[in-house]
Amino acid sequence: MAGILAWFWNERFWLPHNVTWADLKNTDESTFPQAEDLYLACPLAFCVFMIRLVFERFIARPCALALKIQANGPQKAQPNAILEKVFTAITKHPDEKRLEGLSKQLDWDVRTIQRWFRQRRNQEKPSTLTRFCESMWRFTFYLYIFTYGVRYLKKTPWLWNTRECWYNYPYQALTVDLHYYYILELSFYLSLLFSQFTDIRRKDFLLMFMHHVATISLITFSYVNNMARVGTLVMCLHDAADVLLEAAKMANYAKCQRLCNVLFIMFGLVFISSRLGIYPVWILNSTLFESWEIVGPYPSWWVFNTLLVLLQALHTFWSYLIVKIACRAISRGKPQTLDTVSLQQFQASGTELECAVGQHDCAM
């Protein structure tokens, strides 16, 4: 185990030339990011999860009911042990041959069995009330963390001059505000990861699980490597669009379609301008070229920038999907419901691979 840890924390991979972990130990004069700092995020993630449950029960749910969002879910399929066994153990989408076999076994017509499977699949979907509560929780968190990020960053020199992200790197002291920003973002995404196993299991479970793991990995990577300054820029930039996305989803669940359309358009404009404009010109330019000039490349520098470039490719694909949805709705010339599309959430924001227009059925 000691050998594996020594290999994993190899200084020649993580740190620039001639820098050691001993150089970044905390002193009376300076505090630097330490890997063990991130252990705090685990109990905090549990606290965030509990706060979410309280918020959804006592704040989001009453708001949903006041907007006349129904608490009842889809119609339940009538109990049937044979069909339930097929559904849970074999397939949720039986083919024609299996349907005919079940029809003979149960003495039901094929259409009735098809209806049963459709109702049973719908039972596993969360109700509109549940979706609204989840979106309101995420909206509240994203609004808070984005507001906090803006207030924090406007006082920092690297918001106005990204070269400040690399001057004196990696000997950049960790401030209380920066530590709070990172730990809170990490705790939130850990709580989302945990809640996947307690919430109703959805068809995008694996996609969202991979997204959360990637997000958590990138936050952890940039903190341990003390690339926290540029990490704060990435997080704040990605949180901006997520606020509008969750607001649009809430408007949709409340059947405020005009408001939903306006918010979705705003989301699309902010998303495309920030991910295809500001991100490459402002952030990638700094991580690729300014850091090369000031610090120089080293192994983890290549890994970090490779991930950020791949993120840019995802931004381009997600932007294409947003434009495609809007063009399709406009070309039809009448109100249409947007298909469910999962753009997930970087929600890679140097923290967010999740950019879900998922579960989002706005009418255009």
Confidence (pLDDT) at 341 = 38
Confidence (pLDDT) at 200 = 65
Confidence (pLDDT) at 337 = 44
Confidence (pLDDT) at 334 = 45
Confidence (pLDDT) at 6 = 81
- Asked if residue 270 lies in contact with residue 315, where contact means CB atoms within 8 angstroms, the answer is no
Whole-model pTM? 0.83
Nearest to 191 by CA among 58, 349, 56, 53: 53
Residues lower than pLDDT 70 in the chain: 72-74, 200-204, 332-364
Confidence (pLDDT) at 7 = 81
